[in-house]
Amino acid sequence: MSLDFLPFTRPSIDEETIARVADVLRSGWITSGPQVLAFEAALSTLCGGRPVRAFSSGTAALEVALRLAGVGPGDEVLSTPLTWVATANVILSVGATPVLVDIDPTSRNIDLDLLETAISPKTKALIPVDLAGLPVDRDRLYAIAARHRLRVVEDAAQSFGAFWNGQMIGCSGDFVAFSFHANKNLTTGEGGALVVPDDVDLSRCERLRLQGVKRYPDGGMDVDLPGGKFNLTDVAAAIGLGQLEHLTHFTERRRALARRYFARLDPALGLDLPPADFTHSNWHMFQPLLPPGTQRGAFLAAMKEQGIGVGVHYPALHLFTLYRSLGYAAGQFPHAEDVAARTVSLPLFPAMAEADVDRVCIALAKALGR
């Protein structure tokens, strides 16, 4: 790969954070310890003082949230087919049945009108997904949940730093799961976190996170439930603490780059652009839809030839073999299938320059033959 290759994303990790990680390595305490506690406290402050527990991944946070919500065999959980497959996999992991609902073609998030009609007596919880960092309408979502007495597990893996009603996602609501994967707006390398509602036993959350172990002051222990191995390390937490210092800058920079894409992309290219939301979205990704009939593989290759990396987020998960085996089939969710087939994720990360956006737009026009 040439030195001037522009990837679709790249984490911004400063020298102070690198030094912080080195200090943790020198300390001899590199698994869960004081850095994790400090990271959780900082996240709690951002989330309005709500309790937050760190996890090894956003996927783990989602699974534990479902278990804390009492979801299990015989239950149904409603979610979207346009998301990373982990969203649905965790439903299967707790023994429940994923019931998928098509998206709204404008927001590309779950269609809340369809969501309410899909609720059945077996429905136990809802998992909305904030695609590309654009929050699902929380007011309508929680009104639906309240009417049907359902728990909500917000898959906010992509929306850390986004806002709703002037508050950062996580400051309100039921369960809220974040991801700090390497491509997220804030990263710990691998990691995640769960905002835990007040009616949930935090000690149970912690036991589910680490093998179900309950420790006693005299050195004894007990195990009263089958927990997982989902704890975050101090090494990862140290990265997260360093990243938090730049969160506002990261978000502002992403918004500025997104604005430039809107200004520079030629309407004649026939792209369907994402909603131009600069109030709520954290602009985790900038995702235009290719013109109908465009061969996406050829487009990706043409962009790569020009030194531009482009991602695809996400395939429609109900078309995967696993979910076809559960009875899902092509044609069930036409809006999700259309968006999934045409979406591309253009480069967008804080270290990009305005000239990089211009370069992407020029390459994109060439790749589309304009």
Query: Given 184, 229, 304, 366, which residue is catalytic?
Result: 184
d(CA 85, CA 63): 13
**Residue 122: which of 97, 87, 100, 153 has the closest Cα?**
97
Q: How long is the chain?
A: 370
Contact predicate 195/47, CB 8 Å: yes
3-state secondary structure of 138: helix
User: Within 13 Å of residue 69, how many CA atoms lie on the same side as its CB?
Assistant: 34
Single-letter code of the amino acid located at 350: P
- At 29, which amino acid appears? W
- Find all residues with CB under 8 Å of 94, minimum gap 6, and list them: 63, 66, 67, 71, 72
CB-side neighbour CA atoms (13 Å) of 296: 18
Phi then psi dihedrals of residue 125, to 5 deg? -155, 160
Please say if 184 is a catalytic residue.
yes
Q: Are the beta carbons of 227 and 207 closer than 8 angstroms?
A: yes
Asked if residues 37 and 181 have their Cβ atoms less than 8 Å apart, the reply is: no
- Residues labelled as active-site residues: 184
